[in-house]
Amino acid sequence: FRRSNVVSASGILEYSYKDLQKATYNFTTLIGQGAFGPVYKAQMSTGETVAVKVLATDSKQGEKEFQTEVAMVNSENHEPLSWNLRVYIALDVARGLEYLHDGVIFLLIRTIDGPVCVCRHAVPPVIHRDIKSSNILLDQSMRARVADFGLSREEMVDKHAANIRGTFGYLDPEYISTRTFTKKSDVYSFGVLLFELIAGRNPLQGLMEYVELAAMSTEEKDGWEEIADSRLDGKFDVQELNEVAALAYKCVNRVPKKRPSMRDIVQVLTRILKTRHIKKHQMSLSVATAGEVPVDLEQGETKIPITVHQRDESMDSATDTFE
């Protein structure tokens, strides 16, 4: 919105500038900087905590695009993602970050004795710095893509940086205190994202406080089903959810060195999905499945097209999970 023009569209609840000014304590609760302008935390009169996005006068994107985004968000009406699909999404994102952190380039060099494949790591590693649910996009086949590389940088320490860049709730506490962002900073943000997939709530809704309370009674390994998204209606494998949650809790360890690498995370999520596939295969041995094809999860390839509905039942997961 602008001072003189509150965005209005059919079916969208309108608020006056004065109401939003009050909800954001006169726009002092800055939590991030988006493409359109600043984003503020707001406590509405209904008790809801929401994010208020403001269109800056010097925004690189115009008012028309801003109104289009508002209309699109308002029109969204989809069913909650299934648990199975949430794990696939987590693996897609993990693979994308693994590539950024430890990307490998394969070069085919021809010699007198024949072609030789040379493996080279991408140098230096790239840190995304703003991993959050709104930066994870889903395509028509429900494959997750990591987006918005506006804050991406090489690993570095800048103790003189005046501003902390990133999104409130996903930021690594170590980065906030030392201005040091590393690959483990992305790992922390990914851990928050994992818990968001598990619990169905975001940091602005008290996600991490919710997690810490649960951790006190779960001993960090079992019992995480207590925080499972109620919209899942209990449709998830308890052991699988506990394994994903235990992994997420390692990712948000306050000590960066104790967090796993993205490569470790990919391996754990891959193992979890392979175990799921084995269990499903054992249960369906007596049932002949027409058109069944073998899938290699490590390569993320299959010989049949995956639709929105099929992804939930497929063992496929894209390797090209970044844009």
Q: Clarify whether 139 is annotated catalytic.
A: no
Catalytic residue selected from 92, 130, 148, 186: 130
Find out whether 222 and 240 touch, Cβ atoms under 8 Å: no
Distance, CA of 49 to CA of 241 (rounded, Å)? 27
**Chain centroid to CA 177:** 23
Beta-bridge mates of residue 106: 119
- DSSP label at residue 308: T
Residues 100/135, Cβ–Cβ less than 8 Å: no
The residue written with tokens 């030789």 in the block is 116
Sequence-separated contacts (24+) of 204-210 with Cβ below 8 Å: 204/31, 204/41, 204/49, 204/50, 204/51, 204/168, 204/169, 205/49, 207/169, 208/169, 208/252
Task: Compute φ and ψ for 311, nearest 5 degrees.
Answer: -55, -35
Euclidean distance between CA atoms 72 and 227, whole angstroms:
30
Q: Is 240 helix (H, G, I), strand (E, B) or coil?
A: helix
Residues 6+ apart with CB under 8 A from 238: 225
Report d(CA 155, CA 259) in Å as an integer: 17
How many other β-carbons are positioned within 10 Å of the β-carbon of residue 51?
Answer: 18
Residue 117 sits at φ, ψ, to 5 deg, of: -95, 125
49 strand-pairing partners: 43
Exposed / middle / buried, residue 133 (Cβ in 10 Å: 0-12, 13-18, 19+):
middle
Q: Point out the residues that are catalytic.
A: 130
